[in-house]
Amino acid sequence: MRQRTGYLMQNGKPVGDRWNFDKENRQKLPAGVKVPPIPVFPMDEITQEVWGLVRGAFPHHFGDFAAPFELAVTRDQARQLLQDFLVHRLDAFGPYEDAMRTGEPFLFHSVLSIYLNNGLLLPQEVCEGRSRLRRRSGPAQFGGRVGAAGVGVAGIHSHLLRSADAGGTGAQPLWVYPTVAGGFLGWGN
């Protein structure tokens, strides 16, 4: 996939001269490291209406209706989350990918997979956003240590599924790699 698209490649070789950096992804999170908050958006009218319907239909189900609604519901909001991840969490994602801390459920993860799966973000715009930021900031900021999983494109599946964009993103139809849950992990020809 990387060779075909050119993402995370430089002069025909993987950025950082290795295909993955999983061994470096297991660092312990130091006690003093501050984790940037993931942005939340005010509920729009439709989200408020649906929130009320769900609360009325499932009053005794698990979950907390008092908590803020933390999901993006528009393409613009999803793109804001992508930009926030690229600027505020991407650098620390690699080393602390497998770290855990009480009260910090996401740490430096992108939390973008839901938006890739529902079509609010496209895999290529995530990769291109990372590439644009890397070019603007210079390679030293990233050190070549961000793998495909860091930007949400996690693997290659052998069976292709034709998918047309029905989500209003304005994108051309894609060949996508299906997941068991019905989402996708990447794109191809």
What CATH number has the domain bearing residue 70? 1.25.40.80
pLDDT single digits (tens) 47-85: 999 989 998 999 888 877 776 778 999 999 999 999 999
The overall pTM is greater than 0.85: no
Pair 147, 21: CB distance under 8 Å: yes
Q: Look up the domain containing 98 and give its range.
A: 2-152
pLDDT of residue 174: 43
119 part of a folded domain = yes
pLDDT of residue 147: 41
pLDDT of residue 136: 56
pLDDT of residue 111: 93
Task: Reply yes or no on whether the pLDDT at 168 is more than 70.
Answer: no
13 part of a folded domain = yes
- Report residue 26's pLDDT band, with 50, 70 and 90 as the boundaries: confident
pLDDT of residue 49: 94
180 part of a folded domain = no
pLDDT of residue 134: 60
CA distances from 9 to 4, 62, 64, 92 (A): 10, 44, 43, 21
87 part of a folded domain = yes
- Report residue 4's pLDDT band, with 50, 70 and 90 as the boundaries: confident
pLDDT single digits (tens) 109-145: 999 999 999 999 998 888 888 667 665 554 433 343 4
pLDDT of residue 139: 40
How many domains, the chain? 1
186 part of a folded domain = no
pLDDT of residue 102: 93
Percent of the chain with pLDDT over 90: 36
Task: Reply yes or no on whether the pLDDT at 189 is more than 70.
Answer: no
pLDDT of residue 70: 85
Q: Is the dihedral of CA 85, 86, 90, 91 positive or negative?
A: negative
167 part of a folded domain = no
**How far apart are the C-alpha atoms of 3 and 26, rounded to whole Å?**
26
146 part of a folded domain = yes
166 part of a folded domain = no
- Distance, C-alpha 33 to centroid of its chain: 22
